[in-house]
Amino acid sequence: MPRLPAWLRPPKANADGTMALVDHLREARYRLLVSAAAIIVLSCVALIVYQQLLEVVLWPIRQAITLYQQAHPGSQVEMVTHGLTSPFSFYLKVCVMAGFLAACPVWLYQLWRFIAPGLQKKERRTALRFLVPAVPLFLAGVALGYWVTPRGFAVLLGFNPPSVINLNDLNDYLAFELRLLVIFGSAFLLPVVLVMLNRFGLVKATALARWRKGAILICVIFSAVATPTTDALTMLMLAVPMVAMYVVAEIICRIHDRGEKAIGSPPPEPVEVEGSQHGADGH
């Protein structure tokens, strides 16, 4: 089997997991190339099912237009493209978007492999175990974002002045939709990150308990900033799962810390019962 040229192969870390700066850059280049190759291959596959993907991509805005027109009878909303190259650009972007999301197991794994050389052997095994739930959690976040975006888009359309036709460029809409889906997917990785940091001994459950109120506030602020749809529903649909996952991660970390404490605590010293020695001497 042909091997990659030496300049493309990832460098090997030292026994202690350290690398020179140049080797880190070579490692990053290799991981990016592998991730890009996976995205390109899956994007090419997406070309075959473009019509089906188009229906999936346009479903949120079509639902939003329906909700908006029900609340504002007689209003007009149109999806448009500008210029000769815009339709072809949209065609490619839809396929690349599908390839990027479908390749999430590959680029999440490559991200882990980039971090792994700096971890001890036990820590690598721990990190790899948490990579498994990271993929379904990311996809679950994407699915939730896809489900709630029509409501948020309808709220944004509601700011359109009466008797004014609203024209939406397809490429702008696609970029906005992808940004929201990635935000929702990334937010769902919060428990994986927290529990993994706990396994490495960097974060304790007691610290997570102390930070809970601040974390809830940060989750709400992040949701408000990351979902620029101005409606409370979309913000809460991101904030509530994030808070719930923070609490779940805290519980998991507390169980782990208790187990570690039980394993690491010394066995109790035997308690002498008064008179036992006299009884032994009497035999």
32 vs 197 pLDDT, higher one: 32
* Residue-wise pLDDT tens digits, 24-78: 788 888 889 999 999 999 999 999 999 999 999 999 999 999 988 888 888 888 9
Domain residues of the chain, as ranges?
Answer: 7-120+149-181
Q: Per-residue DSSP letters for 148-181? A: HHHHHHHHHHTTSPTT--EEEEHHHHHHHHHHHH
Tokens of 106: 């590959």
Choice among 4-18, 23-37, 51-65, 87-101 with the minimum mean pLDDT = 4-18
* Residue-wise pLDDT tens digits, 115-136: 766 666 666 666 667 777 888 8
| Average pLDDT of the segment spanning 170-181 | 90
* Model-wide pTM > 0.85: no
The pLDDT of residue 283: 47
Phi and psi at 166, nearest 5°, equal: -95, 120
Distance CA 133, CA 192 (A): 8
Q: Are 246 and 194 in contact (CB under 8 A)?
A: yes
Per-residue H/E/C for 76-136 = CEEEECCCCCHHHHHHHHHHHHHHHHHCHHHHHHHHHHHHHHHCCHHHHHHHHHHHHHHHH
15 vs 276 pLDDT, higher one: 15
Is the confidence at residue 266, as pLDDT, over 90?
no
Distance CA 245, CA 251 (A): 10
The pLDDT of residue 199: 78
Choice among 10-14, 40-44, 147-151 with the minimum mean pLDDT = 10-14
